[in-house]
Amino acid sequence: MLTVIYPGSFDPITNGHMHVLERAAALFHRVIVAVAQNSSKAPAFSTEQRVKMLREAAAHLENVEVDAFEGLLVHYARDRGAAAVVKGLRALTDFEYEIQQAMLNRRLDGGIETIFLPSASEHQFLSSSIVKEIVLLGGEVEGLVPRAVAPELEKWRKAKREER
Ligand code: PNS
């Protein structure tokens, strides 16, 4: 049984992430989506909110589990019995960072592979940051994020507006 980890900030999950997740779920026996808790970025959504959105968005995928992790990714992957880490790769924007992470993770634990799935052409421009920017500026995100995410983004926008 081949288990892989699909890690990320998922702040929030986008349809680009979903496409990678669905393809990983079709390739491997079990996919654990792992929400990073100790990201250096200050997230818009709490770990619990990100996990909840992911669980709703991935409810149709029977071999997908959603979890949160702290500390090194390779330690988490070992603990969960995973053979590899799956990452989505958008042309150009992600390459340098993702290759660096993959090499670092191999240096830390040579037994955990990194597998890249290229993002679909229609998702090359899509990121969690872009989605948040669109929402803050009053734009529409239909088709960019899973259905469960849009209302949460709207709540976040209202809270941000009240902060000001
Ligand atoms: O969605 P992101 O922000 O690109 O995800 C990055 C993530 C969470 C996968 C990466 O930062 C990570 O693996 N964090 C855990 C800590 C770790 O193992 N870092 C790499 C070696 S220092």
23-77 per-position pLDDT tens digit = 999 999 999 999 999 766 789 999 999 999 999 999 999 999 999 999 999 999 9
Closest atom of ligand 1 relative to the 74 alpha carbon = 18
Share of the chain above pLDDT 90, in %: 91
Tokens of 158: 């209202």
Closest atom of ligand 1 relative to the 40 alpha carbon = 11
Exposure class string for 118-127: b at 16+ Cβ within 10 A, else e:
ebeeebeebb
- Measure 69 CA to ligand 1 centroid, in angstroms: 10
From 18, 72, 73, the mutation candidate for ligand 1 (largest count of ligand atoms within 8 A of CB) is 73
Ligand 1 atom 19 nearest Cα: 72
Taking 90 as the threshold, does the pLDDT of residue 164 lie above it? Answer: no
pTM of the full structure: 0.97
